[in-house]
Structure 1
């Protein structure tokens, strides 16, 4: 055995280990940061108010933000492809008021709910076709969808329509309790959507194709992946989630209203970005979007506890969004340097 063979290989330095870890797990860093912020917010609120991390308060956090969670999951699919959908808030309002109108006209919920979901999916399909086959920028195409959905909401009704159907109201009024914890069917729907979103993105060919499109659409085409079909389906799924969010919000408020969801699309996009999904596409996680919504909900609850002006929610979320966009740019720049 030679002397060279007897010499043990040099152990990697701490810096080398850090670089290796970052290169393998860079996509997870924004999500980890969002989780850390959520934990710090909860701990800080507990110290400030004493009873913030209480079962009923945390249960209400999910209940109050169930519709936003569903919107964020749908948007995650679109943003992972490198696109954007500004229509989700308006589609939510349109499907909600449509459902309320159909129920008020005597249609049973078993008929009205599928119609509203199909309405959301149809607008998503329209946006997807404009983006994929007419080469319209996602921002412009979804902006057209926003105006279309909001206009349709006002065509259905100019005023609020109360919902009295027991099947729809059951979604919100029913409580499944375990001690001081409780869960409503709307909360269960939101968690089911998250679970399905995680499964589809991580363990299906469709999900892998979405990541491939966001990473490099041209390369995805050269690999023979169904790029066109996948991109259109991503927008259809986003529209479907918006319709489901409309059902959840209608059950939550007990009425449909054409002005529901104004600005909600920005809240949902902010939650997705804070949760670690890159706006350029190709990197992000549905669970991260859930964390982003919870961060948004905790901040809103803290401000309500303080009795401060609700506009501070927008200010803080805007600052967090700016921070996470900067973090994303740093991660992307480092990844490009390593190639």
Structure 2
């Protein structure tokens, strides 16, 4: 009699513990899914290419080639966590690159040019934030206006490509520190530092906690006396600043600036952030997850290159993964709502 009573009680305790774990850690499930997909791709590619795929130089190049995208993804994470979107980041990256390259061509030192590029990005981000917060413009429309503005300003600077010869800017990309067969560039280190700072801001500051609160329920955040307006403005400023920094990195990566650079990059950034587990409705997500999403994106491009097929398959694969993760997000949100 006693044993039959203990067994159901034990089973109930296990189910209850599992329920608590899923409730508390549901936001990490998409991140783990992204990690699983990344690991599966690496293992599958290694097997398919008879062990010739996975090598330190190749893995190092993924960070090198996607440093600018990683920086953009950090800024985009802040905006999406508030329930917004920023379609301007690719155009801002292009414009700040054009403006910075023109200033360098005119003889200004890189120590002045780089902060100016970041300030230009922050200013455009602030303008988008003001439209969203104080003029009640939808983030999609406000950031679309910012995208057209930045793209137009890039063409105003120059219709042609501007070559960058400044040694300090080019040093960011050309200098490599080797650790055996592995290597890292200054742009890669800069991108990882941005990830670290973004993760710390979200996890351990009042600003970060308010970001989550605003994205979770903006009305409740207002009732709790949280600085909703200032937080949303700062989220777009962070995104714009990251876009300006990405302009510095991308200019160093290509060695030139061109007004058509960055077309479609905003969509790549959003895809990486969503694949990394950040909910499009806001309130749930992590910078680390966005980094994983960028690595998934970079790994897909690398595998497509190894296969020697058309690059359009990169878009097709990313589109399929994006659809999958949006469905996963909807399932998680629905299950969380039922548990409440």
The TM-score normalised by the length of structure 2 is: 0.96
1:263 paired residue number: 264
2:175 paired residue number: 174
1:247 paired residue number: 248
1:219 paired residue number: 220
Gaps of 5+ in 2: none
RMSD after superposition? 1.4
1:205 paired residue number: 206
Partner SS state of residue 9, structure 2: coil
1:299 paired residue number: 300
Distance in 1 between the 2:34 and 2:15 partners? Answer: 24
Spell out the pairing of 1:110-125 with structure 2 (5 A cutoff). 110-125=111-126
Distance in 1 between the 2:201 and 2:16 partners? Answer: 35
2:283 paired residue number: 282
1:324 paired residue number: 325
Distance in 2 between the 1:301 and 1:221 partners? Answer: 45
* Residues 275-332 of structure 1, C-alpha deviations (whole Å, 9 max, x = no match): 0000000000000000000000000000000000000000000000000000000000
Residue 16 of structure 1 deviates from its aligned partner by: 4.6
Distance in 2 between the 1:114 and 1:19 partners? Answer: 49
1:132 paired residue number: 133
2:10 paired residue number: 11
Partner SS state of residue 11, structure 2: coil
Partner SS state of residue 183, structure 2: strand
After superposing the two structures, state which structure 1 stretch, 111-120 or 77-86, moved more. Answer: 111-120
Gaps of 5+ in 1: none
Distance in 2 between the 1:108 and 1:12 partners? Answer: 68
Residue 15 of structure 1 deviates from its aligned partner by: 4.9
Distance in 2 between the 1:309 and 1:330 partners? Answer: 33
Distance in 2 between the 1:97 and 1:12 partners? Answer: 64
Distance in 2 between the 1:186 and 1:98 partners? Answer: 20
Number of matched pairs = 335
Partner SS state of residue 11, structure 1: helix
Residue 51 of structure 1 deviates from its aligned partner by: 2.3
Residue 18 of structure 1 deviates from its aligned partner by: 3.7
* Residues 217-254 of structure 1, C-alpha deviations (whole Å, 9 max, x = no match): 01001111111001000000000000000100000000
1:161 paired residue number: 162
Distance in 2 between the 1:159 and 1:15 partners? Answer: 64
Q: Once superposed, which parts of structure 1, at least 4 consecutive aligned residues long, lie more than 4 Å away?
A: 13-17
Residue 53 of structure 1 deviates from its aligned partner by: 1.7
Residue 12 of structure 1 deviates from its aligned partner by: 3.0
Residue 17 of structure 1 deviates from its aligned partner by: 4.4
Distance in 1 between the 2:234 and 2:137 partners? Answer: 16
Distance in 1 between the 2:260 and 2:268 partners? Answer: 16
1:194 paired residue number: 195
Residue 24 of structure 1 deviates from its aligned partner by: 1.8
Spell out the pairing of 1:72-151 with structure 2 (5 A cutoff). 72-151=73-152
Partner SS state of residue 158, structure 1: coil
2:46 paired residue number: 46
Residue 19 of structure 1 deviates from its aligned partner by: 3.1
